Amino acid sequence: MRLARLASVLVLATFVLAAVAQPYPARGIRLIVDTSPGGLTDLLARLTAEALTARIGQPVVVENKPGASGNVAADLLIRSPADGYTLMVAAAGNLAVKPFLERSVPFDPLTDVAAVINVADAAHIFVVPTSMEAKDLAQFIAYAKANPGKVYYGSAGIGSPPHLSLELFGRLAGVKLMHVPYKGIGNALPDMLAGRLQAMSISLGSALPYLRTGQIRALAAATKERLAGLPDVPTSAQAGLPGWEMSAWFAVFAPKGTPSEVIRLLNQRLQAALDEPKLRQRLLDLGTEPGGGSPESTAERLRADHRLWGQVIREAGIKLE
């Protein structure tokens, strides 16, 4: 009897050890998205899932978990086992500013998630309606200084990237711009096209259709280098306003405590995908710039956004209504 029990224990132990010894990933991965299907975050998540599936030999399934401004998805991620089988794609800037805008955030973006890789950047550009006389950034700033309290800009809502971007712009340029929040950038665009708004900070992807039809004019890119999708538009520094930079960037995250070797493997596989011309072109077609970089550089960028936009939010007294 004892020998039989011992044999059973040994067989069970063999199965357990075999399971433990299986290299990662031994099964499918779920990729959480903090928005509904169809938006830019969702599209980037699906490209990420497709690229990763092709390189790890296991299915990567996208699960949309919208709600509470992304908190539903983030809370699900941080409560998941830190084993590499649950990941999340999110707008990293949104994670960085949450503690400064919301009274009760169920997680700490700097300690409760582990950065894997930056997937893409949706860089912002400074645009004006073509009915406006300003042909470059210097002319716009001169106009704003000559018309204090009369220059309006639209945003996707209080605390949104377009709002924070032009708060920083106004501080650096020494001008007072009047903020008009909308429920989404799409709702602000008709007023921009009609000339009721004099400026906007908007992602290249959102602006492209109106740039092509000549309804709006781009004066500067809020980037360190000229955009591949808009090479004729100067950077903010080239246009005379160094320091004005804004990009809605998107990254892959894992729960804190995920083994470093798992993070490194995921990073390497996704970096290889981002280096391929086919995926890079698909990202450019979405109006984004291909990302990449190490887990450490991605985490440092999140910390840098946390510092910068936290300061802007505090100094401007921005609060969600």
Instruction: Please name the CATH architecture into which domain 27-121+247-316 falls.
Output: 3-Layer(aba) Sandwich (3.40)
Residue 46 has pLDDT above 90, yes or no: yes
Rounded CA gap, 256 and 79, in Å? 10
Q: What is the pLDDT of residue 107?
A: 84
* CA 124 – CA 217 distance, rounded (Å): 13
> Residue 312 half-sphere exposure, CB side, CA atoms within 13 Å?
25
> Please, which pLDDT band fits residue 321 given cuts at 50, 70 and 90?
low
pTM for this prediction: 0.84
CATH superfamily of 123-221: Periplasmic binding protein-like II (3.40.190.10)
Give me the mean pLDDT over the 112-122 stretch.
96
Q: Domain ranges in the chain? A: 27-121+247-316, 123-221
CA–CA distance from 116 to each of 31, 104, 125, 176, 266 (Å)?
Answer: 13, 26, 27, 39, 7
- Residue 89 is predicted with a pLDDT of 97
The whole-number average pLDDT for the span 147-158 is 92
User: What is the pLDDT, as a whole number, of residue 60?
Assistant: 97
In the prediction, which pLDDT does 76 show? 94
User: What confidence tier does 8 reach under pLDDT thresholds 50, 70, 90?
Assistant: low
Residue 231 has pLDDT above 70, yes or no: yes
Question: Which has more confidence, 59 or 184?
Answer: 59
27-121+247-316 and 123-221: identical CATH topology: yes
Distant-in-sequence, close-in-space partners of 133: CB < 8 Å, separation ≥ 6: 139, 143
3-state helix/strand/coil string of the chain: CHHHHHHHHHHHHHHHHHHHHCCCCCCCEEEEECCCCCCHHHHHHHHHHHHHHHHHCCCEEEEECCCHHHHHHHHHHHCCCCCCCEEEEEEHHHHHHHHHHCCCCCCCCCCCEEEEEEEEEEEEEEEEECCCCCCCHHHHHHHHHHCCCCCEEEECCCCCHHHHHHHHHHHHHCCCCEEEECCCHHHHHHHHHCCCCCEEEEEHHHHHHHHHCCCEEEEEECCCCCECCECCCCECCCCCCCCCCCEEEEEEEEECCCCHHHHHHHHHHHHHHHCCHHHHHHHHHCCCEECCCCHHHHHHHHHHHHHHHHHHHHHHCCCCC
CA–CA dist 142, 226 (Å, integer) = 24
When mean pLDDT is compared over 77-81, 202-206, 229-233, the highest value belongs to 77-81
Closest to 39 (Cα-Cα) out of 198, 184, 171: 184
Most confident of 14-18, 217-221, 317-321: 217-221
Lowest model confidence (mean pLDDT) among 51-60, 72-81, 180-189:
180-189
